[in-house]
Copies of this chain bind each other. A is one copy, B any other.
Amino acid sequence: MMDAIGIKAKGAARELRKVQSTQKDAALKLMARKLLENRAAIIDENRKDLAGVRHSGLSAAMIDRLTLNDAVIESMAGGLNEVAALPDPVGEVTRMWMRPNGLKVGQTRIPLGVIGFIYESRPNVTVDAASLCLKSGNAVILKGGSEAIHSNLFLAGLLREALRETGLPEKAIQVIPTTDREAVEALLGLEDLVDIIIPRGGEGLIRFVTSHSRIPVLKHYKGVCHVYVDEFADLKMADEICFNAKVQRPGVCNAMETMLVHEKIAPGFLPGMIRRFQEAGVEIRGCPKTVALFPDTISAVESDWPQEFLDLVLAVKIVGAMDEALDHIDRYGSSHTDAIVTDDYHHAQLFLAEVDSSVVLVNASTRFNDGNQLGLGAEIGINTSKLHAFGPMGLKELTTKKFVVYGRGQIRQ
């Protein structure tokens, strides 16, 4: 079965290479209309999924993510229209140059081909991922969580209707219709048919996919993000940035997990900062110096430093020098997002140069590591491996470049 899905996807990918933006955008807009017109039916199908998990012990947060209501459907439709409005990356000639022998050589963006997208419970990801893949000219094979199978199949059915009605290949969007894990393993073995695998979900899912895949995986394990408050920081700015980075949305990968503070400004900075955190319900796990200054904080243990808390928990370390902060980030960071707060020009430049993370910021919140916030348009994920696209991935990152060469009879000497 999986072979058949892969072969259909590869055929669709070949057709999509010839399709122009106007047709893809028409399909995306029709998809949006179809979602809005079929709200009641979508919600009915979603109820089947919700009924299925009622006695499964799924957490309230997970059930919330699984639930489709009017607001979520409108947001999905809005997302489709936004993707339709984004510029099409395909066909862009990023560079063209002339060789001494007169060959004109250029590089032009092309779709990757077939994308395998493996995700967990949110059914709206079905629509997000399908729209980004279509706009970038890729066929997609979607494998969502088994608990969302009715919602996913129904949503994909509407998207495929829109493809058909706009003259595009239906098989450009396929949902694996079973819920078993063997299907995922079979998908991960289709190395001749699928060009790239993107998993989205918890670390367990991503490790499973990475260890079983014969196909390249763009992966994002975790975000252990740091803010380093330098000895030359504007303390008011540091307070705002650190509070925002930790508290504005603690459950996401670009939230701060560890705050590093230079010892010279610790006495002036930390009392107010820690009080503000504690008032917001943030649990502080401090290094020995921090705990000595604030006896009501918890002593951090070694495993706290590389930890992605995804919660109102913050590790705090007082450092004696900027180098100590850089060493700490190098040792415990996850190459995701790290920020410095400083007024010193040289420290800012040094931090930008030395921190080896996908997004490095000066005087701004780590929460800006996001495709929309950085100006890439919609985002399909954040890649923390350095291959292909390091950091947030938008439409352009779902393409690759081939060389095109215009000759007039040149041969190699």
Contact among B364, B367, B403 for A359, CB-based, below 8 A: B403
Q: Which residues of B contact A330 (CB under 8 A)?
A: 14
Q: Is the Cβ of A401 less than 8 Å from the Cβ of B405?
A: no
Q: Is the Cβ of B244 less than 8 Å from the Cβ of A412?
A: yes
| CA A356 to CA B402, docked complex, whole Å | 8
| CA A393 to CA B218, docked complex, whole Å | 20
| CA A374 to CA B98, docked complex, whole Å | 9
A408 touching B18 in the complex, CB below 8 Å, given contacts A387-B387, A390-B400: no
A407 touching B362 in the complex, CB below 8 Å, given contacts A214-B210, A367-B412, A391-B402: yes
* A110 contacts chain B at the CB level, 8 A cutoff: yes
Q: Is the Cβ of B363 less than 8 Å from the Cβ of A408?
A: yes
For the complex formed by this chain, how many copies does it contain in all? 2
Chain A residues 348 to 395 lying within 8 A of chain B, measured CB to CB, are: 348, 352-354, 356-365, 367-369, 373-375, 385-388, 390-392
Q: Mark A332-358, 1 if CB is under 8 A from B, else 0.
A: 000000000000000010001110111
Q: Which residues of B contact A365 (CB under 8 A)?
A: 410-412
| CA A390 to CA B358, docked complex, whole Å | 22
Closest 4 CB pairs of A and B: A364-B407, A244-B411, A367-B412, A361-B405
8 A-B residue pairings within 8 Å (CB atoms) = A18-B353, A110-B356, A113-B386, A195-B386, A216-B385, A359-B402, A363-B408, A364-B406
A sample of 10 more A-B contacts (CB under 8 A), given A237-B409, A374-B405, is A18-B353, A105-B375, A195-B385, A196-B387, A216-B387, A359-B405, A360-B402, A368-B410, A373-B412, A387-B388
